[in-house]
Structure 1
């Protein structure tokens, strides 16, 4: 009850803040259940619908400086025709603060819809590839590079230690399937050339391009959502994360949709077969640690685990599988 009252109080406070800063009158409000830690709503105003997200103080205990910067990039990309919604700033600030100190952002509301993981059509994937290529091209041209990466690949030793811990706890939980998958991960890791992954190009990336952050029309992408994590890392993460999330269905990679995505992306940026395979392996290296029995009942996490298991199962024939895309 306390959480519900708190959420209602914050909602009303934000409505008052919108009236004071933008002179918007809010009518109906619908709570959005998606999102980790944050609270969001669709608020119908007299100036049209607005998406409002209140940031979790615990999740962002180190501050919102990078998010503020990312939202400014989103607004510029929207103005330049990239598939994302506008961000509403007040006196130049994209992060707004209520009287009690709650921080939130405001964007437009997409007319697109979510799709289930693995169910994107070839037309939708071609459009997603185009939009991602345009986004990467824009970021490279408009955002200065940094001297260092926001996130570095952990050492093989530290990852092996994590996998050993995961395997022991997963076996203790009686989840034999995941325990076998972790053992396969350990075998791959022991023979992995980490320098190959580190050779991936550095650059700006959305860094969260899974299906929950994409909205589609019937035959094309509508909008890329949630730019909060934009960082200087490896742009290839955006490629493999989208392919795994949108094209892997029933333990099978739907290659016609992969080819459509690649062809769309290549309209704006280079994407070789070698880069594509490295991209898949890069995401595996980053996310394989999530294979653990404690996530078996968590739907979003179990989907990520399914993707990591698929990569490990096909590790030695990824070049053959993704080769020949024209």
Structure 2
């Protein structure tokens, strides 16, 4: 028998029924939220206020070790709750018997969190004050995450491949890219890989990090940061990845990385946490080493706007690979 796929409406009704049983909440006026990939979200209303109802897609995590994914997401959600209690602008999660991840009668995994009003700012258009406030909050997140609550052991989530592996990867993709529109993109990545040296990131410090700190996961009220969203990728890794990801997302306008707004982020960060001079250029090398293979690929036609934006960032980093230290090494 062919497997039946539930509609988003059926999933919502399943979650709504579970929320009535778990929290005695009666939801109304559900409005789908489109940001995010595959996980379904709704903004809903109740007598107690407004909430965001989020379902974790089975399709998104198919092919992964389910127990591992669930354990990592449990840690991430618990960290979001810790960050909220520490005063970080993020959504409070509703808990039942101490658990913030819930299971519906229909077998769906979901969370309920308070709705926070705010606006998404287009990537590459954050002003200096917004970047300053984002930098300050990023440092506070790192302070809370690395306060000793977790045992900091084991390898970082990001595994850095060797120079030869990097070159081999881009050469293999170059063969697939010939006679396609991405040939020049891949050539620039290969050139950057040939310039790669382990010394570029040898001083990066490991620690717990948000790992998805970009504009789609941020809400602003004017210049104030209203909320940091989506701690789902929280893990032991390199906190500098948060710095590079936030700076590229906020200060790269698809043509160039604005030095002044990048500097504003770092100034805000340093009000809460030490950050050696030269960290930004090192963090940008680290970001390229991780994300370039994600976004520059043989099949890019028809990609959503977000992946195409990330691909442009990786192309800029590769194109400017030898200039990053000179341009940003004093920040």
Q: Which of residues 102, 107, 111 in structure 1 aligns to 2:117?
A: 111
Contact kept? 2:191, 2:318, Cα under 8 Å: no
Q: Which of residues 235, 245, 248 in structure 1 aligns to 2:239?
A: 235
Matched with 1:36 is 37
Q: Secondary structure at the match of 2:178?
A: helix
Q: Secondary structure at the match of 1:317?
A: helix
Matched with 2:136 is 130
Q: Which of residues 297, 300, 305 in structure 2 aligns to 1:295?
A: 300
Deviation of residue 285 (structure 1)? 0.7
Matched with 1:154 is 161
Matched with 2:49 is 48
Matched with 1:93 is 99
Following TM superposition, the consecutive aligned residue runs of length 4 or more in structure 1 with deviations greater than 4 angstroms are 2-5
Matched with 2:16 is 15
Tell me whether 1:74 sits opposite 2:75 in the alignment. Answer: no
Deviation of residue 44 (structure 1)? 1.1
Q: Secondary structure at the match of 2:7?
A: helix
- Segments of structure 2 that go 5 or more residues without pairing to the other structure are none
Q: How many correspondences in the alignment?
A: 321
Q: Distance in 2 between matches of 1:250 and 1:162?
A: 25
Deviation of residue 195 (structure 1)? 4.5
TM-score (norm. length: structure 1): 0.93
- Segments of structure 1 that go 5 or more residues without pairing to the other structure are none
When structure 1 is superposed on structure 2, of 123-132 and 210-219 the one drifting more is 210-219
Q: Distance in 1 between matches of 2:202 and 2:96?
A: 40
Matched with 1:311 is 317
Q: Which of residues 172, 178, 181 in structure 1 aligns to 2:185?
A: 181
Q: Secondary structure at the match of 1:162?
A: helix
When structure 1 is superposed on structure 2, of 15-24 and 32-41 the one drifting more is 32-41
Q: Distance in 2 between matches of 1:155 and 1:53?
A: 38
Q: Secondary structure at the match of 1:216?
A: strand
Q: Distance in 1 between matches of 2:302 and 2:91?
A: 33
Deviation of residue 60 (structure 1)? 2.8
Deviation of residue 194 (structure 1)? 2.0
Are the structure 2 counterparts of residues 84 and 308 from structure 1 closer, same or farther at C-alpha, using a change threshold of 3 Å? Answer: same
Q: Distance in 1 between matches of 2:151 and 2:124?
A: 34
Q: Distance in 1 between matches of 2:14 and 2:184?
A: 50
Encode CA deviations 1:187-213: one digit per residue, 9 max, x unaligned. 221231124424310000000112111
Q: Distance in 2 between matches of 1:99 and 1:154?
A: 43
